[in-house]
Amino acid sequence: MQLLRIFSYDAYKGGRGYLKSQRYYEIARTVLYFGISIALFVGGWLATGSRLNLLTVVAVLGCLPASKSAVSMIMYLRFSGCSEDSAKVIAEQIGELQGLYDCIFTSYEKNFSVAHMVVKGDTICGFTEDKKFEEQAFYKHLDGILKAENYKTTSLKIFTDPKKYLERLEQLKVLEADESHTEGIIATIKSVTL
């Protein structure tokens, strides 16, 4: 039953439960890749009676993509997405707004976990469940990315209080905004998140 719940999430980037489904995908892929390398090594050893054979070389080379997959798996295991309770409340309030769940931004200095983000025109607001979220560092990081993509007039606010975030969603629903940049900003955000 748990397996069915895993696959009921939206498996696309920005969808509800994306991190959870991606985490299981990365675990399965890593186990499969290492399993293939181990099977090749053992098969070559059993067939020739020595580990000095061509299949050992192939098995060692197979460890390269397996190791890359393991690094990706570790990154997905480090973060949790939007909690079920928060996701339900946000889904009820979001209406026609375009939102993204489970956004993990990585920078050289720090990683930023944003549970949900909404974009309307040049206005971006988000909600994080991380109580130690460094807002100013995040603003600087995302502002630099958006300016590099020629979105120079964006306003950005991240909330740690869910009630204030829901109030802001209500305000955004009635906000008159030129939504010509909405899709481009969402595409930019998706391209820089985990």
- The pLDDT tens digits of the residues spanning 58-90 come to 999 999 999 999 999 999 999 888 888 998 999
- The pLDDT tens digits of the residues spanning 124-181 come to 999 999 888 999 999 999 999 999 999 888 999 999 999 999 999 999 988 888 888 8
- The pLDDT tens digits of the residues spanning 135-147 come to 999 999 999 999 9
Torsion of CA 76, 80, 86, 88, to 10 degrees: 40
State how far the alpha carbon of 174 is from the alpha carbons of 97, 108, 120, 139, 166, in Å: 10, 37, 11, 25, 13
Rounded Cα–Cα distance for residues 49 and 119 (Å): 62
Average pLDDT over residues 101-109: 90
DSSP string for 110-146: -EEEEEEEEEETTEEEEE---TT--HHHHHHHHHHHH
Non-local CB neighbours of 85 within 8 Å, separated by 6+ positions: none
- The pLDDT tens digits of the residues spanning 37-56 come to 999 999 999 999 998 999 99
Q: Which pLDDT score, from 0 to 100, does residue 2 have?
A: 52
